[in-house]
Amino acid sequence: MTDPALLPRAFTELAKNLPSGMVVSDRVLDAEMLIDRIDGRITASLAGVRTIRGVRHLLKAPSPAHNWVLDAGTVRPLPIDAPTAFLSMLDGGRVDDLSYSQAVGLLRRGDGELSISATERFHAAGRISAEALPGTLEVPGLNASLFPYQARGVQWMQATIARTSGLILADEMGLGKTLQIIALLLIDPPPPSSPALIICPASLIANWSRELERFALSLTLSVHLGPRRTGIYRGLQQTNIVITTYDTMVNDIAILSALEWSWLICDEAQAIKNPDSNRRQAIVSIPRRRTIPMTGTPVENTLMDLWSLMDFAIPGILGDRKAFERDYPDSLEAAKALSSVTDPVILKRRVADVAADLPERIDVDLPLGMDDLLAEHYCTVREETLARYPVAGALVATLQLQLVCAHPWLRSPSPYDEDGEFAEVDRGSGLPLMTPKMERTISLLREAFSNGTKVIVFALFNRIGDLIREAGVELPPAYWGAINGSTAQADRQRIIDEFSSHEGPGCLVLNPKAAGAGLNITAATLVIHYTPVWNPALEAQASARAHRRGQTMPVTVCRLYFEDTVERVMLDRSVWKQALGNEIIPLSHRDEQDLKRALTIEPRKP
């Protein structure tokens, strides 16, 4: 029997006035702080620990001021100072509404008077928490209908960021990360005095601008880029949203850090995974209220990648860098321990996770913007070709411009070659291997390979496959294969069989003329059209290699193209011909109007 003098006074008073049928235990339970998540709020409760046959049972006290717990019909005492110790550890935090940082900070403490634990509900990954939310959401001003998983994602982000000030959006390519961010911004429109800042690679400026203009007409937008960008911070306080590039951000950090942004959103956030890079060091200095890095690959090489992103999203959440490197070496055990902290603030869903919500085929257009160097080269090629071939100049120049868009190193062996299929690589142009289109392709492949996905890349020009492999030398290990006009007919099925049977990710680079019909490649669930075509039948037949009977998963079909170039004309022409139902004969066709527009459209910005 326990000496009554050692029992909590409040408990002894309770014992004198117990309701009928209740009994009193004379064993004092160990007290513990229990972190939980209830209706979206993070709570802290005082609890008693009772171990039965080696299994721990946590019994919550009626309130933090109670030094006893109720166990069915038995009242069990806690240490007399448990309420005092509990409140002392909270350090003024609200027991019914803790921030995520407060909760994680408590869990990481090892010097408190009470031990601390958390429920599985608190540690639930963002994907699991989002699944419990409603599948419908009306967003005023959103010119689109959200899929159920997107509606859940927006609601999860809204609730999570209210308590964390940051999160990581890591949905797989094709699930609409951009649309979910736009919906989130429409729910709480940023004022021009404190706009939202979106930072992305230069190649994605066109895509963000297009998506915002398409889906959120009520939000005003400015692009901070080029020689005419503002030189004062008040020039940034004119619209709801400002878009800029990582390089411009570094150059203009003095201006961008001169005001507090309501949102700081980073697309392709792997650009700031290196904590020692100029980009990472500059971007963390920008004042902001809410932060969302977007990436399909939060961990690419080491756990330090995740520290860099997470510390940017929620500063200090994983401790300082030195302590992190000491506590979380690159091991499975460390990754598992780390996931209990990071998973609740990362929304990472794969197509397989939400397949029931998706159509069989997801079409994604990815407009790209040329950088100044490539745009200048494009215009030079156009002018030189027209001057050199005055009679057939328009037709010749159109193909040359298609080659520039595919890659500026490509050269057609004959100026009168109609399709450039066998164009060769000439490295003497002085332009880099990594163009905006190549950069985007490698980004898509990196995400796909990290998720174990198989990919088909369709390119009209055979040497593109070699250039992609050269640019992707640091991609995760994967199967690589190619089928084009040079591939022997007897070898084609073997290559497809190897690709399909390979355990893990892979990439097939195919010429749509050589491999756009008759082949079944349902192992692939991502199709990338690297080069547009004039006739939609050729593209449709190519996409059907993966999206056909026997495919059990949704297929994402991406079309990459440069805005304000011949590729934009080709895309518009393809859509027009498709609307007419002109898909019977898959042949390239350009009329006089197409050629005229292709040779006047201008990628250079004024």
Same domain flag for 436 and 505: yes
Q: DSSP letters of 221-290?
A: EEE--STTS-SSGGGGTTSSEEEEEHHHHHHTHHHHTTS-BSEEEESSGGGG--TTSHHHHHHTTS-BS-
Same domain flag for 342 and 377: no
- Residue 479: pLDDT band (50, 70, 90) is very high
The tens digit of pLDDT for each residue in 33-58 reads 999 998 878 999 999 999 888 889 89
Q: What is the CATH number of the domain that holds 135?
A: 3.40.50.10810
Same domain flag for 440 and 420: no
Q: Is the pLDDT of residue 16 over 90?
A: no
Q: What is the Cα–Cα distance from 439 to 561, expressed in whole angstroms?
A: 13
Q: Does residue 592 sit within a domain?
A: no
Q: Which among 353, 380, 407 is the end of a domain?
A: 353
Same domain flag for 423 and 436: no
Q: What would the mean pLDDT of 197-219 be, rounded to a whole number?
A: 93
Q: What would the mean pLDDT of 186-192 be, rounded to a whole number?
A: 96
Same domain flag for 420 and 347: no
Same domain flag for 410 and 531: no
Structural domain that includes position 566: 362-366+432-587
Q: What would the mean pLDDT of 508-528 be, rounded to a whole number?
A: 79
Q: What is the CATH number of the domain that holds 437?
A: 3.40.50.300
Domains contained in the chain, number: 4
Point out the least confidently predicted range of 69-73, 268-272, 527-531: 69-73
Across the chain, mean pLDDT equals 87
Q: Which among 320, 353, 386 is the end of a domain?
A: 353
Q: Is the pLDDT of residue 186 over 60?
A: yes
Point out the least confidently predicted range of 208-217, 238-247, 279-288, 380-389: 380-389
Q: Does residue 602 sit within a domain?
A: no
Same domain flag for 183 and 256: yes
3-state secondary structure (DSSP) of residue 416: coil
Decide the pairing of beta strands 74-77 and 68-71. Answer: antiparallel
Point out the least confidently predicted range of 14-18, 224-228, 488-492, 512-516: 14-18
Q: Is the pLDDT of residue 606 over 80?
A: no
Same domain flag for 96 and 153: no
Same domain flag for 446 and 578: yes
More confident: 264 or 175: 264
Q: What is the Cα–Cα distance from 212 to 141, expressed in whole angstroms?
A: 11
The tens digit of pLDDT for each residue in 407-451 reads 999 988 776 666 778 889 998 888 999 999 999 999 999 999 998
pLDDT of residue 516: 54
Same domain flag for 423 and 461: no
Task: Compute, in degrees rounded to 10, the torsion defined by CA atoms 519, 524, 525, 527.
Answer: -70
Q: Does residue 600 sit within a domain?
A: no
